[in-house]
Structure 1
Amino acid sequence: MRKLIYGINISLDGCCDHTKFSGGNDIHQYFSELLEGADLIIYGRKTYELMVPFWPEVAQTQAMDETANAFAKTFARLKRVLVSRTISSVDDEQTTIIHDNLKEEIIKLKQQPGKAISTGGIELPAQLIEWGLVDEFHILVHPVLVGQGRRLFAEMLLPENQHLKLTASQTLPSGCIALRYEKI
């Protein structure tokens, strides 16, 4: 069965609003390497609209620095699933839309052959975590306190604790700490 991998950037005080801290080459490189092990991305509407068409356009134009361009190329090659009740179509041939039966549809995707499945954002991953469908967590902790903003997992309701095992940690040149946890 394919793994479902959740990746997110957060501040030291738990804020996951990407506008509150800056990215760097090492962050793009980290997530590029993570996505190289995947062939499908699943996003909710908000995260999807942040990522598409921005990164596929960067992949075409190569308008950013070398590391961001490499991330864009990695991102652009992936198939995408948009989970939305309000969007009925998108202008992206690599994207399919799931409107309902989310849990069953994600289980079907996990059962298909292929590389890992990646997800990001807040609301959709929280629901997937509640259902026990997320297998790995890649948390990139930025060395900054922002004091306010959207918090990671603030509204998640777990039926019971989900125990995780730290399987890797890495300090990036920017001072970010990359933590990788797997479900036990």
Structure 2
Amino acid sequence: MAKLIYTGIMSLDGYTADAAGRFDWSMPDEEVHGFINDLERPVGTYLLGRHMYEVMSVWEDMSLSGEPPVIRDYAKIWRAADKIVYSTTLASPSTANTRIERDFDAGAILALKEAAERDMSIGGTMLAAQAIKAGLVDEFRLLLTPIVVGGGKQYLPDGVGLALELLDEHRFGNGVVYLRYARRT
């Protein structure tokens, strides 16, 4: 069975975007970006909320001329993966290998995990919150950025308790810390 992985770049106080919705403070440098590429390379399917999909869809058609190797590498990873977007408002996808689902269905996602040959990634705090509450997320991969933003979009939802086991950790030269946890069952 494939794992469902929730990866996020977040502030030290637990936010993926600040109170104004900005996340420019979380942009990875080349070292961190290369590391993220290696994390994402084995992923076969992205499950995305509408907003996260709209942010990430720039990778589909972005000009790679003159871009550094880590950017070109990530664009290839993004373009090759299947994408499932959960949205009640998006009329049609703007990227290849993409389908839209209107409703979050925990049973359907469990069936996807059971059938998938490659791991799956979930993105978007609201969609991830539903999957976390349904007990579907197997791993949490956090990239902690050395900044405190004071509020905004939380990486983890309120009202959920989880027992986790630390699987891996890594420190980067820019102060970012990577933590990988598995959900204890």
2:53 is aligned with 1:48: yes
Cα 1:121/1:113, change in 2 over 3 Å: closer
Q: Does 1:163 align with 2:163?
A: yes
| Mapping 1:1-184, distance limit 5 Å | 1-17=1-17, 18-52=23-57, 54-58=58-62, 61-100=64-103, 102-153=105-156, 155-158=157-160, 161-184=161-184
Counterpart Cα distance in 1 of 2:154 and 2:94: 31
* Secondary structure, counterpart of 2:111 in structure 1: helix
Q: Which moved more, 1:27-36 or 1:38-47?
A: 27-36
Counterpart residue identity of residue 20, structure 1 = W
> TM-score scaled to structure 2, two decimals?
0.89
- Contact conserved, 1:10 with 1:140, CA < 8 A, in 2? yes
Percent identity over the alignment? 29
Deviation at 1:98, TM superposition (A): 1.1
**SS of residue matched to 1:61:** coil
Contact 1:83–1:99 (CA under 8 A) maintained in structure 2 = yes
Distance in 1 between residues matched to 2:2 and 2:77, nearest whole Å: 19
Q: Deviations over 1:56-106 (max 9, x none)?
A: 223x63452221221111111101010111113113231011112521221
What is the TM-score with the length of structure 1 in the denominator? 0.89
- Partners of 1:162 and 1:147 lie apart in 2 by 23
- Which range is displaced more, 36-45 or 85-94? 85-94
- Give the unaligned 5+ runs of structure 1: none
Give the Cα separation in 2 of the matches to 1:37 and 1:2.
11
- Supply the AA of the counterpart residue of 1:23: P
What do residues 117-153 of structure 1 show as CA deviations (whole Å, max 9, x unaligned)? 0112211001100000000000000112223432322
Number of equivalences: 179
Aligned to 1:119, what secondary structure does the other structure show?
strand
Please, what is the CA RMSD of the aligned residues?
Answer: 1.7
- Gaps in structure 2 of 5+ consecutive residues: 18-22
Assess, with a 3 A threshold, how the Cα gap between structure 1 residues 165 and 67 changes in structure 2: closer, same or farther. Answer: same
CA distance in 2, matches of 1:19, 1:75: 20
